[in-house]
């Protein structure tokens, strides 16, 4: 059991049982009493935020304070301590770039430091290797019982960090940056502090805000992701050794003059080509846009046999996006990296929701093929539809079973947690022994704390309670695929 999982399970027990004997608790969790005491100390450090505390009385422990909604608040707070896939890779990369020459980095040390299994760390390193595997070389390899990082130039390192952070933005959704006018909320606090120290990423906010002002003043029609990408690109290239004087000046300045920055900054690419996409003003063709949106809406609703409908917000978002990006019935993106970023980010969605992709591509090709529309516009419209579908699942009338040995322990905890997310769902905790064939057939999803090996059904997730809390994205992704197939099969 991971430390975070054990801590939250202890808290849940104390919130539901007035007092718990420390020895009994250690036996229940299969850990030593010293480990229980360390967990309580860790919990108390975090519970201070909520003016609560776990107290000791002889050999018992109990919760003291206002327990209303505390569990929900705590695991929401606890989630901020958990690294995403891309944050773990950033953490690993930081280790190598900041280590002393004599310091040895091992899989075991990394796993212990961030409290993830070694198997997960191995997968992260494999992913990092693929990101810079242009010549079949490994980015990170083993040597003398330790790990070493291959030599990279500054441009390669900057590109690698940009790639990881752009994927992190997809994971956390770029709208968070727009809403907060800051990049900080998309990161675990530890990772953010590290990026500030090593990459001055706090400058992103100044640059991003300046680009928003330019967009408003010049009435430009660029997408939010273009502005986010350009802000990141400038921020990271400011950290190049040839730009250190410039970054010192910018950190002291309250405001930023973008024209001056772009005159002085060193960037490996032609900066005028990079900026041309941003400064180009796209005109609208509302008649064409309305025709595209009208046909697309009809075809998407028909695809789902009018069981679910594109809502007004999704339709408006698609319409506005098309209006911003169509000029004389054409759309061009000059920067290949942006195009690759979009393709990489949604490749799995295209595979899993191929019918939506084909409808989107068919409609856009019909109206814009002669104008040689860039594929990125199709990707982005498809993404708007996927955002709508993803959000629709939260309100869908789901049928979910949660399973454990007795049907009253982890399954009840899972049922309570999932109900807070999917408010229209019918969720039933159930003992493993009472699962029937009808349950497998009629349930949209079965989440089991036990290992269920049932090859005939693909609606089963084997997850213990804490993994349910820490893997909301995995559960939601599974549900999205299941409901998608269910609606299409019923056509």
Specify the pTM.
Answer: 0.48
Residues 291 and 385 in one domain: yes
Q: What is the model's pLDDT at position 343?
A: 57
Give a yes or no: residue 95 inside a domain.
no
Give a yes or no: residue 89 inside a domain.
no
| Structure tokens that stand for 235 in this block | 């921020």
Count of CB atoms situated within 10 Å of the CB of 78: 19
Phi first, then psi, for residue 203 (nearest 5°) are -65, -20
* Size of the chain, expressed as the number of residues it contains: 491
Residues 320 and 371 in one domain: yes
Give a yes or no: residue 426 inside a domain.
yes
d(CA 322, CA 288): 9
Cβ proximity of 430 and 401 under 8 Å:
yes
Q: How many CA atoms lie within 13 A of 164 on its CB side?
A: 30
Residues 430 and 475 in one domain: yes
How does strand 140-143 pair with strand 146-149? antiparallel
Q: Number of structural domains, the chain?
A: 3
Give a yes or no: residue 466 inside a domain.
yes
> Which CATH number covers residue 443?
3.40.50.2300
Residues 484 and 428 in one domain: yes
Residues 387 and 460 in one domain: no
Give a yes or no: residue 372 inside a domain.
yes
Cα angle 252, 257, 262 (rounded to 5 degrees) comes to 105
Give a yes or no: residue 443 inside a domain.
yes
The position carrying tokens 């909320």 is 185
Cβ proximity of 200 and 235 under 8 Å:
yes
Cβ proximity of 409 and 367 under 8 Å:
no
Domain boundary among 76, 102, 120: 76
Residues 378 and 417 in one domain: no
> Which CATH number covers residue 44?
1.10.10
d(CA 54, CA 40): 7
d(CA 239, CA 242): 8
CA dihedral for 239, 241, 242, 243, sign (positive or negative):
positive
469 is in which domain, residue-wise? 395-490
Specify the 3-state DSSP secondary structure of 328. coil
Summarised one tens digit per residue, pLDDT across range 74-89 is 654 444 556 788 888 8
Give a yes or no: residue 370 inside a domain.
yes
Q: What is the model's pLDDT at position 134?
A: 46
Count of CB atoms situated within 10 Å of the CB of 331: 22
- Partners of residue 448 on adjacent β-strands: 403, 462
How confident is residue 250, by pLDDT bands cut at 50, 70 and 90?
confident
Question: Mean pLDDT of all residues in the chain?
Answer: 78
Summarised one tens digit per residue, pLDDT across range 418-468 is 888 998 899 998 888 888 888 888 899 998 888 887 777 888 888 776 777
Domain boundary among 76, 100, 115: 76
d(CA 84, CA 190): 12
Summarised one tens digit per residue, pLDDT across range 174-203 is 557 877 788 988 888 888 988 999 999 999
Domain boundary among 45, 76, 107: 76
Give a yes or no: residue 455 inside a domain.
yes
Residues 389 and 456 in one domain: no
- Cα 31 to Cα 9, 36, 54, 104, 404, distances in angstroms: 13, 7, 19, 30, 21
Residues 403 and 382 in one domain: no
């Amino acid at each position: 059991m991971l430390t975070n999982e054990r801590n939250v399970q202890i808290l849940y027990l104390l919130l539901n049982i007035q007092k718990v004997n420390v020895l009994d608790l250690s036996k229940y969790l299969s850990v030593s009493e010293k480990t229980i005491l360390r967990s309580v100390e860790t919990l108390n450090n975090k519970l201070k935020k909520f003016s609560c505390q776990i107290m000791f009385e002889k050999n018992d422990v109990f919760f003291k304070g206002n327990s209303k909604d505390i569990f929900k608040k705590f695991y929401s707070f606890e989630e901020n301590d958990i690294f995403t896939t891309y944050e773990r890779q950033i953490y690993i990369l930081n280790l190598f770039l900041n280590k002393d020459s004599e310091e040895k980095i091992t899989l075991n040390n990394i796993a212990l430091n961030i409290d993830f299994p070694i198997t997960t760390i191995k997968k992260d390193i494999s992913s990092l290797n693929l990101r810079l595997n242009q010549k079949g070389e490994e980015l990170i390899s083993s040597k003398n019982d330790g790990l070493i990082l291959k030599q990279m130039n500054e441009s390669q390192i900057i590109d690698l960090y940009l790639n990881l952070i752009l994927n992190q933005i997809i994971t956390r959704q770029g709208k968070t940056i727009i809403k907060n006018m800051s990049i900080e909320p998309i990161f675990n606090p530890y990772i953010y502090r590290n990026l500030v120290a090593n990459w001055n990423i706090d400058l992103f906010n100044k640059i991003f805000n300046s680009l928003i002002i330019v967009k408003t003043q010049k009435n430009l029609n660029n997408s939010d992701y273009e502005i986010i990408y350009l802000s990141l690109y400038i921020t990271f290239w400011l950290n190049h050794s040839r730009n250190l004087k410039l970054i010192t000046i910018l950190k002291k300045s309250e405001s930023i003059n973008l024209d001056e920055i772009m005159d002085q900054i060193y960037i490996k690419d032609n900066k005028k080509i990079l900026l041309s996409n941003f400064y180009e003003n796209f005109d609208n063709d509302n008649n064409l846009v309305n025709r595209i949106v009208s046909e697309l809406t009809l075809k998407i609703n028909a695809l789902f046999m009018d069981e679910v409908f594109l809502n007004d917000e999704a339709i408006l978002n698609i319409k506005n996006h098309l209006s911003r990006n169509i000029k004389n019935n054409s759309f061009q993106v000059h920067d290949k990296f942006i195009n690759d970023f979009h393709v990489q980010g949604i490749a799995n969605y295209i595979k899993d929701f191929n019918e939506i992709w084909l409808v989107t591509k068919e409609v856009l090709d019909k109206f814009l093929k002669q104008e040689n529309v860039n594929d990125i516009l199709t990707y982005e419209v498809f993404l708007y539809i996927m955002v709508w579908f993803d959000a629709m699942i939260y309100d869908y009338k789901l049928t979910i079973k949660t399973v454990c040995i007795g049907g009253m322990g982890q399954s009840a905890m899972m049922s309570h947690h999932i109900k807070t997310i999917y408010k229209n769902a019918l969720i039933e905790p159930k003992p493993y022994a009472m699962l029937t064939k009808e349950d497998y057939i009629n349930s949209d999803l079965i989440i089991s704390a036990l290992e269920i090996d049932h090859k005939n059904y693909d609606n089963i997730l084997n997850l213990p309670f804490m993994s349910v809390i820490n893997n909301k994205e995995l559960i939601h992704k599974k549900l999205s695929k299941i409901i998608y197939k269910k609606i299409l099969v019923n056509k």
